[in-house]
């Protein structure tokens, strides 16, 4: 094992897949000459050249369409958005073309493409740069949505995403690019759609994904000292969702808290809540609690932003609520 940063895990995954398959290429704003806005493509222009590592204008709709079209001629593009907030400019291409090419061509065309970049908030970036759209994309048949929380998962899942024959939305975080973690020296793949139990427990299940799961880890450490054992499930993939892992955990612990950095209405946590009440209702000893952001655009003020975001204290309160403590 070696210890690398999240951004290095992303770079390794892309580089390894580009060495393996000449149909893979990277396209996006500042991915080439600048080595990526977050240095996640450092050195790739030098290794693969300007035909396979392509700087684009600030035109998300345009380069998303070019990349999607190229899949129909045998390519496997990786499209980097500087943030998924900017993907809204190109979302027509993602929803109406990438997600539907296979069905609308009667299976004659597939669309092996990865759209990747940071999601959700990353400090004082303002309301329009602090949004989480996992549930938007996960609502669309034809798309897969992957949201890793650490370097190991990021590398293994990105390699699987690049090899997948369907479009994958791969969501990262500006605040995770510097995170360090152990990654195997050799090649490995993590299958899409498989959750991971990051912490075994017996009293309550906490389901989360992405960078916000760190707040669950903090809360579990505090609660352990109070005699409460938390099982933490990292979804890793929002769609397809590992329904079995969630249900089996709830059958063991009989309680569920869902932690998600997203607006509260119609989000991923809502879907998980419906899943558990429909498939494990008789195992529940308390109502499910979901923890989300405030139901407002993200504030710029650091004091308000801290209040807006879910944190470990919110998790502790939620766990104690379902434990009736």
Q: Which residues are catalytic?
A: 60, 129
Q: How many residues does the chain have?
A: 325
Looking at residue 54, what DSSP letter applies? E
Contacts of 162 (CB under 8 A, 6+ apart): 13, 14, 17, 21, 24, 76, 78, 112, 114
Q: Where are the beta strands (DSSP E) in the chain?
A: 2-5, 24-28, 53-55, 76-80, 114-118, 144-146, 168-172, 180-183, 196-199, 204-208, 230-234, 237-239, 256-259, 289-291
Please report the DSSP string for 132-164 in residue order. --HHHHHTSTT-EEE---SHHHHHHHHHHHHH-
Q: Are strands 180-183 and 2-5 parallel, antiparallel or unpaired?
A: antiparallel
Instruction: Tell me if the bond preceding 35 is cis, omega within 30° of 0.
Output: no
Bridge partners (DSSP) listed for residue 205: 231, 256
CA 323/CA 320 separation, integer angstroms: 5
How far lies 30's CA from each of 27, 34, 37, 94, 242, in Å? 9, 5, 6, 21, 35
Q: What crossing angle do the helices spanning 213-225 and 312-322 adopt, rounded to 10°?
A: 60
How far lies 240's CA from each of 76, 125, 152, 235, in Å? 21, 30, 20, 10
Q: What crossing angle do the helices spanning 243-253 and 268-279 adopt, rounded to 10°?
A: 60
Looking at residue 128, what DSSP letter applies? G
């Amino acid at each position: 094992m070696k210890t690398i940063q999240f951004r290095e895990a992303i770079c390794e995954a892309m580089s390894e897949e580009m060495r393996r398959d000449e149909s893979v290429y990277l396209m996006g704003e500042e991915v080439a000459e600048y080595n990526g806005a977050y240095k996640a493509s450092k050195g790739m222009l030098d290794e693969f050249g300007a035909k396979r590592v392509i700087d684009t204008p600030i035109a998300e709709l345009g380069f998303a369409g070019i990349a999607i079209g190229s899949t129909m001629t045998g390519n496997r593009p990786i499209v980097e958005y500087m943030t998924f907030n900017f993907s809204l400019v190109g979302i027509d291409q993602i929803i109406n073309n990438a997600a539907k090419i296979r069905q609308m061509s009667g299976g004659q065309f597939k669309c092996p493409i990865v759209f990747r970049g940071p999601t959700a908030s990353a400090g004082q970036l303002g309301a329009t740069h602090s949004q989480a759209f996992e549930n938007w994309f996960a609502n669309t048949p034809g798309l897969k949505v992957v949201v890793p929380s650490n370097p190991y998962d990021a590398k293994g899942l990105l390699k699987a995403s690049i090899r997948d024959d369907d479009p994958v939305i791969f969501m990262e975080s500006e605040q995770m690019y510097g995170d360090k973690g152990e990654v195997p020296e050799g090649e490995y793949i993590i299958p899409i759609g498989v959750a991971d139990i990051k912490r075994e427990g017996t009293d309550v299940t906490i389901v989360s994904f992405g960078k916000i799961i760190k707040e669950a880890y903090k809360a579990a450490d505090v609660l352990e000292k109070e005699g409460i054992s938390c099982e933490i499930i990292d979804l890793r993939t929002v769609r397809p969702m590992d329904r079995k892992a969630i249900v089996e955990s709830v059958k063991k612990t009989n309680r569920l808290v869902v932690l998600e950095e997203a607006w509260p209405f119609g989000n991923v946590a809502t879907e998980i809540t419906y899943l558990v009440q429909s498939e494990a209702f008789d195992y529940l000893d308390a109502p499910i609690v979901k923890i989300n952001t405030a139901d407002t655009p993200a504030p710029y003020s650091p004091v308000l932003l801290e209040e807006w975001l879910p944190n470990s204290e919110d998790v502790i309160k939620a766990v104690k609520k379902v434990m009736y403590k």
